[in-house]
A and B are shown apart, each in its own frame.
Chain A
Amino acid sequence: MRARPRLPSWLVPFLCLMAAVALPFWVPTYYTQFASKALIMGMLAMALNLAVGQGGLVSLCHAAFFGVAGYVLALTSPKYDAASLLLTLPLAVLASGLAALAIGALALRTRGVYFIMVTLAFGEMLYFFFHDTGIGGGSDGAFINLKPEIAIAGRQLLDLDKPMAFYFVVLAFTVGVIALLLMLVRSPFGHALAAARDNERRARSLGFPIFRIRLIAFTISGALAGLAGYFAAAQFGFVAPEMLGWHQSATVLAMVLIGGLQSVTGPLLGALVLLGLEEVLKANLAQWKLAEGLIVIAIVLALPNGVRQLWPLLFGQPRQKPSSGKVAPETGRG
């Protein structure tokens, strides 16, 4: 295999960002909207990966946090007026964070497979909460007639109704989420979280408050999922209980796996790959779910570390192996 010269570490992220900024000027509006959706799902997947990849906590209720924020936007939006972004966004993120705090405080008393089952059950509880009670239109869902805006003294500064403006706002928030997650992962907090994932007993005997560290990570992860949910609700102008369903959670987990758990931005790539795949399959195949299911199974069996495993095959091996020192989360204790 031919060796690939090492690129400066900032080059690839910089080029990706430039491409992302240039994108809406080059492609039709439909693809700008698709890119917004991919960024939103990428935010959700990256948020989830803080719990799954960094914390070793396989959560099946992140769609619930995602949906709660969407519902907060729907419930706080005036019927004939645009909601204020500066007011509703913090409120939505706060609500998701609180939901994550409450569910995390209970679920984190358990480990491994229990944790998966408990998060799944509590996520479904929130689903049924919006499905069965009349809040937010019950099983029919609720419309958000006008996208939120930033306005000062009645003058509109930012109108999210324009696809391009919406895209740039989402892009800015995505970059912010990446920066926040990178900071977290590289901080002593992030190292403690990873230590608890790799060897809980040792981390505990070293004196780390495991429960508190995990709860903080889970809450931040849920709040960031809420951030993504806010923009998803704003983009589609509609919320329904299905937004909180566990199929959504599992799909996002698939994005995390496809992108790879080892890096902060991997899940963003995973979201892009899976959404792109869905788009192609839906356009060409009546039984697209069958194909998607088989592809997910194939990826689990053949590429346990995500599509990045394919890169050395495509571009050759890098000269030096990156020494990140991270190992796949060990959650095997049942």
Chain B
Amino acid sequence: MDLITFGVQLLNAIQYGMVLFLVASGLTLVFGILGVINLAHGAFYMLGAYLAYWIAAATGNFLIAVVAGVAIAFVVGLLLENVFIRRLYGRDHLAQVLLSFGLILVIDEVREMLFGKDVHAVTPPAWLSGSIQLTTNLSYPVYRLAICVFCLAVAGLIFLVITRTKIGMIVRAGAENREMTRVLGINYDSVNRYVFATGIALAALGGIVIAPISTVFPGMGDSMLILSFVVVVLGGIGSVAGAAIGALLIGLTDTFGKVFFPSVSGILIYLLMALVLLWRPNGILGRREI
């Protein structure tokens, strides 16, 4: 493998890892703050991709799709928290698993009623649709680079909000000790609601940005859900930095696994997870005692 091919694969790995990070950070935030395990997280990723397709087709502008898709997902998240998720706080994990599984069935059926079950392609905006010529027969699409930059910006924003703002302080305190934060007088009802909606919006955003380079299809949420779970297990629950490390690890493992060991590439990330579990059962950045 020459240096340029290696570079291209590395970029692919980073780009894949960054999108994974967007989705998984939403999942880990929701778990860290609300203490709710949300199996429907992948369904919102899928919904985001379908929204991107639908809005982009209706308006002809992908940027509108990004903004409107995220806004719609955020509002849906607020509503769902208010109607269903709120009732799960303090319930056992079995109830959370099954309620969110019920939500998946509902979302899948709603998606079929709204958008059908066809596979769709989304075209990226014209100014991002070119490719950069690397050598005479090797080029790299600009849109993939744009994803890297965009996701890095979003990741930076998440880190800034969490480490530098009052909201971030509350979120960190909640992840550390939920009960104590509540005792200190933080209004957790609204924090919960906005964190859940943000988590959902991040999942949808992942689906929206991936739509132009992948196809939009009904089962796309399932595989993403499993991958985000592996990311969270690798990084440590509730840790956004851990999610970033986990996502990049999976991006690298999956991309280079497909290059070097194509026959077993599907299993490699699970082997990685098994190794991390043997080494640090609570994740790379997870707290040691649980």
Residues of chain A having any CB pair with chain B under 8 Å: 52, 58, 60, 106-107, 109-114, 116-118, 120-122, 124-125, 128-129, 131-132, 246-247, 250-251, 253-254, 256-257, 261, 287, 289-290, 292-297, 299-301, 304, 328-334
Contact residues in A for B92 (Cβ distance below 8 Å): 328-332
| Other A-B pairs, 5, CB within 8 Å; known A114-B282, A299-B98 | A117-B229, A289-B105, A293-B104, A293-B106, A301-B87
Contact residues in A for B113 (Cβ distance below 8 Å): 287
Closest to A287 in B: B109
Contact (A294, B102) CB under 8 Å given A113-B31, A125-B267: yes
Contact residues in A for B84 (Cβ distance below 8 Å): 297, 301
A44 to chain B, nearest CB (A): 16
Contact residues in B for A106 (Cβ distance below 8 Å): 274, 277-278
A297 to B103, Cβ gap below 8 A?
A: yes
B35 to A334, Cβ gap below 8 A?
A: yes
Contact residues in B for A257 (Cβ distance below 8 Å): 94-95, 98
Q: Is the interface of A mostly helix, strand, loop or mixed?
A: helix
A253 to B110, Cβ gap below 8 A?
A: no
B273 to A121, Cβ gap below 8 A?
A: yes
B270 to A122, Cβ gap below 8 A?
A: yes
Closest to B263 in A: A133
Stretch at the interface among B49-57, B60-68, B230-238: B230-238
A118 to B233, Cβ gap below 8 A?
A: yes
B37 lies within 8 A of chain A by Cβ? yes
In this complex, the member of A58, A107, A293, A329 whose beta carbon has the largest number of chain B beta carbons within 10 angstroms is A293
Q: CA–CA, A111 to B106, complex, Å?
A: 29
Closest to A125 in B: B270
Interface mask (B81-107 → A, CB under 8 Å = 1, otherwise 0): 000100100111111011101111110
- B226: contacting residue among A107, A124, A292, CB under 8 A: A124
B281 lies within 8 A of chain A by Cβ? yes
A120 to B229, Cβ gap below 8 A?
A: yes
Chain B, interface residues (CB within 8 Å), range: 35 or more
Contact residues in A for B106 (Cβ distance below 8 Å): 289-290, 293-294, 297
A246 to chain B, nearest CB (A): 8
- A253: contacting residue among B98, B270, B274, B282, CB under 8 A: B98
In this complex, the member of A117, A292, A328 whose beta carbon has the largest number of chain B beta carbons within 10 angstroms is A117
B35 to A253, Cβ gap below 8 A?
A: no
What are the 10 A-B residue pairs with the smallest beta carbon separation, nearest first? A293-B105, A290-B109, A296-B102, A297-B102, A125-B270, A293-B106, A109-B281, A117-B229, A250-B101, A293-B102
A54 to chain B, nearest CB (A): 13
B108 to A289, Cβ gap below 8 A?
A: yes
Contact (A332, B90) CB under 8 Å given A114-B237, A118-B273: yes
In this complex, the member of B101, B106, B283 whose beta carbon has the largest number of chain A beta carbons within 10 angstroms is B101
12 contacts between A and B (CB under 8 A): A58-B97, A111-B290, A112-B290, A114-B281, A117-B232, A128-B267, A290-B110, A293-B101, A293-B104, A296-B105, A332-B93, A334-B290
B290 to chain A, nearest CB (A): 5
B99 to A121, Cβ gap below 8 A?
A: no
Q: CA–CA, A296 to B104, complex, Å?
A: 11
B141 lies within 8 A of chain A by Cβ? no
A297 to B99, Cβ gap below 8 A?
A: yes
B233 to A117, Cβ gap below 8 A?
A: yes
Contact (A113, B37) CB under 8 Å given A287-B109, A329-B92: yes
- A300: contacting residue among B37, B39, B99, B230, CB under 8 A: B99
Q: CA–CA, A107 to B90, complex, Å?
A: 23
- B39: contacting residue among A112, A250, A299, CB under 8 A: A250
